Chain A
Amino acid sequence: MKLAYYPGCVSKSTGKEMDASTRAVCGALGIELEELDDWNCCGATHVSNELVAAGLAARNMAQTDLPIMTACSICYSNLRAAAQRLEEHETLEKVNAVLDKKYSGARIRHALDVILEALAENDERIVVPLKELKVAPYYGCLLTRPAGLYSPEFPIILEKLIKRLQAEPVDFRLMTICCGGPIFMPQEKAAEDIAFKILSEAKRAGAEVIVTVCPLCHLMLDAKQQVLEQKHGVRIGIPVLYVTQLAGIALGLGPEELGLDMNSVSPMVVVERMYARLSE
């Protein structure tokens, strides 16, 4: 299978391990990725004018005829929302009037969905089954919103993948609550309070790992975890993995390929435990 790949801006900085693990896992699963030519920023959550946001997305989507895959839920949501808006004739005309390559429809996929589809039950490529690993499925907001393939509040696709990797999803009540990330820059305190609530809930639920599908969720829960621990005087210590990293571990890919050394809370203890079990 061949897909167009939209890495998104964070793939060059705070989400480097998301990008590395996405490419590595797709390679292992025989999915060929063709990076979108000269892609631009999707506008994230900071472009308030919806027509401009649709235009930015349309320029990306017009670069290919292949289905477009991204591992970032913000990019995913923006491209999907734009594709919905571009079904309106008036919006499409206005947008195409300023584009070099004209937009004429696109299919947008998240890496999570692509990986799940590629993996069979008891797939023999799962050489490191994540048996008994308790994983908090953290969807955040934008994988499931605006409403599309998945229930916006009670999705199950992440649990499905966790189970397919033979790990155990924990009952995680805040799984579709926003991480606060989009307002982190101008509204630090509000964003930190929300992120702390989510981490505390994951701890309460007995999670050994939190899995995310968005680089902003990842940043808030992983890179900020130590600061939040200090601020609140509690120990959390839960590694936060991108879904592509979790899948990569089960597929037997190495820490370097998956960028595991770039995670703030090291997942290596967990990884080593999974490997130790293999020789039991």
Chain B
Amino acid sequence: MAGDERFKQEVLRLAGAEVLTCIQCGTCSASCPTAFLMNPSIRRLIKFCLEGKKEEALHNETLWLCTSCLLCTVRCPRGIRPKAVVSALKDMAEREGLRSKDAAYEQFFLKQIKDYGRIAELALTAEFLLVFPQGAVQSMQMGLELLPKGKIDLKIEKIKGRDEVKRIVEELSK
């Protein structure tokens, strides 16, 4: 069965046409600090993209285990940016309204940037935990550690150029 060509082209548009030159050597997977948790691996994820296997490429936890450390990117012998492939897939998954706690976190993050221009960590955490309370224990532990140190700020900082920032996010994501 022929793959989804439009999907493949969209990945190439977002992550760079050099993805086509992938030789499947696996340097990316071997470099990845969270590879041991990933299935499919980064290498296979790139293969899915080149084969136009949209479902397999978008619906997996691998995307959300990427820490954006860029080790794959500085090591790829073909000059491909595997992390950019992951970012492209995340972007597509979010645009398709894929529902997962990880996609939701990114959406809350972007919404704060749009609304305030900056991130207010406490508000972001609270918003996320209201919808996905699984991480509440860890967050509480962290909060108890940071609160007495004066490192949790209740105030939400809003910048003056919010309209401009909103325009950047909306216009450039088209």
Contact = CB atoms under 8 A, between A and B. Distances in A.
Chain A CB count within 10 A is highest, among B66, B67, B113, B171, for B67
Nearest to A153: B74
B91 A188 contact: no
A178 B94 CA distance: 25
A73 to B, nearest CB: 11
A262 B135 contact: no
B151 to A, nearest CB: 5
A141 B67 contact: yes
Nearest to B117: A40
Contacts of B157: 12
B173 A182 contact: no
A76 B114 CA distance: 21
Interface residues of B, number: 60
A46 B102 CA distance: 10
B26 interface: no
Contacts of A95: 168, 172
Chain B CB count within 10 A is highest, among A44, A190, A191, for A190
Given A49-B91, A99-B168, A178-B33, A38 B159 contact: yes
Given A48-B91, A178-B33, A224 B142 contact: yes
Contacts of B64: 183, 186-187
A94 B145 contact: no
B68 interface: yes
Contacts of A194: 33-34, 67
Interface of A: 9-10, 12-16, 38-41, 43-52, 54-56, 59, 77, 94-95, 97-100, 141-142, 145-147, 152-153, 176-178, 180-188, 190-192, 194, 223-224, 226-227, 261-264
